[in-house]
Amino acid sequence: MFPRDFAWGAATSAYQIEGGWQTDGKGPSIWDTFCHKKGRVFGNQNGDVACNSYELWEKDLECIQQLGLTHYRLSLSWARLLPDGTTRNVNQRGVQYYNRVIDDLLACNVSPMVTLYHFDLPQAIQDLGGWKSPGMATLFDNYAKFCFQTFGDRVKLWITINEPQVCAKLGHEVGIHAPGLKEKGTAAYLVGHNMLRAHSMAWHSYNSTYRKTQNGAVSLALNSDWLEPLDPGRSEDVTSAERDLILTLGWFAWPVFVTGDYPELMRSAIETQSKMMGYSDSLRLPRFSINDPPILGTADFFALNYYTSRKVKSGGCSEQILSMKRDLAAEEVLDPSWPICGVSWLAVVPNGLRKLLKYIKDVFNNPTIYITENGFAQVGPLQIEDVERCEFYKSTILEVAKAIEEDEVNVCGYFAWSLMDNFEWADGFSARFGLFHVDFSDPDLRRSIYQSGREYAKIISKYKSV
């Protein structure tokens, strides 16, 4: 059902678990700045301490071993390694911390998958313009080369940027993520463009300088819901669902896996709205320069973060200003038959993952796929015996098996989000995605396994022994 070498993992990110926000020479990140202003996060919570993994790494490792994981996905804090964002100032205590994490994982026969950027830009770089600045690509490439040079002898799976669509949209259009900008209709496309340029430069640096000796693989993690027409017999809904997938997943996957440029459907949708509102298209979705390294082919595998699904129907946006919502010109709705888990946006639709995997196989040239995030949130009263989440993991992993066996999708790994309860961005600590519960009221931040953690460990044990 699953290949013997299938990657069974769990995922975390630096800001969400590490804490130690100004310990041992770490510089501030945009999430430090964002959370320290009132009214931006549930309960005015922050990641100053979080799970305190910077000091409690051994406890995390015990959790990883208890699950029997073959892989563990973590991210590096750019500001912990390079406090001002540049290699002029290397924080050796940060280097030592990640060396220890990587070496401990390997000593336990767990392979690290390392993300270079998971939302937490050094504040020093944001002060220079952040992801809106064209110089950002070179700054990121320098950081990436530093990480490849420092850790690449042991790390064989790299993610350059996690969820560029979320970074661009929620951080620069909607403003509910750091840096909290609300520059509708313009900034997100510019940010996404510079993220693609940065990713491409880093991939080419790895390919030309490090691949021969380090033998690793590099990609970027793309998020997408499964999106299907509300009424499959209505052509407007079919077209709207197709456009939604293109403007969400195709935005980043098309340049990397298909043509080296944005989908024509995306550019024409944005251009149509620009003309209606009297804007020049060049101000909105940028064009790639011949001076940039080519983007096509800059992924050694397809990394997918999937959580939920939506039905899509045609419908304009009533806003009389430029916005991503207006460009989409469609409305996403929930199927009332889908159960909602915890957070309002997360409808539980395991077969949506199978459908999305088949879509990726068909549209993006049958790539090797790692599911780099997938999970189920618990809110409200704590339930260690989390029966619904147990069922979620069983049914979801069964859908992955069907994708492999029946649809012949080349899925090579599955990473549950998350190893443990952590800081869930704007939701603070109110949404619990962990396989382990973290008691944030306990000074020792004790980790306790959920029933779903035991269930996932059983699934892993079953397939590892086949």
CB 456 within 8 A of CB 420: no
* Residues 6+ away with beta carbon under 8 Å from 50: 15, 16, 17, 18, 19, 422, 423
DSSP-derived 3-state class of residue 448: strand
Strands lying side by side in the sheet with 226-229 = 226-229, 309-314, 330-333
Which H or E run includes 454?
helix 451-464
How many CB atoms are located within 10 Å of the residue 335 CB?
12
Report how far Cα 192 is from the mean position of its chain's Cα atoms.
Answer: 14
Tell me the C-alpha distance between 376 and 78, whole Å: 28
53-67 and 92-107 are packed helices; what angle lies between their axes, rounded to 10 degrees? 10
* Residues 6+ away with beta carbon under 8 Å from 362: none
Residue type, 376: F
Residue type, 378: Q
- Considering 373, 406, 408, 424, which one is annotated as catalytic? 373
Closest CA to 146 of 233, 88, 208, 227: 88
Which H or E run includes 447?
strand 447-449
CB 346 within 8 A of CB 433: no
Residue spans of alpha helices (H) in 111-258: 123-126, 136-151, 164-172, 187-205, 211-214, 235-245, 251-257
Closest CA to 348 of 386, 383, 384: 386
In Å, what is the CA distance from 32 to each residue of 122, 124, 177? Answer: 9, 12, 11
* Residues 6+ away with beta carbon under 8 Å from 234: 313, 314
CB 63 within 8 A of CB 454: no
User: Is 373 noted as a catalytic residue in this protein?
Assistant: yes
Residues assigned a catalytic role:
373
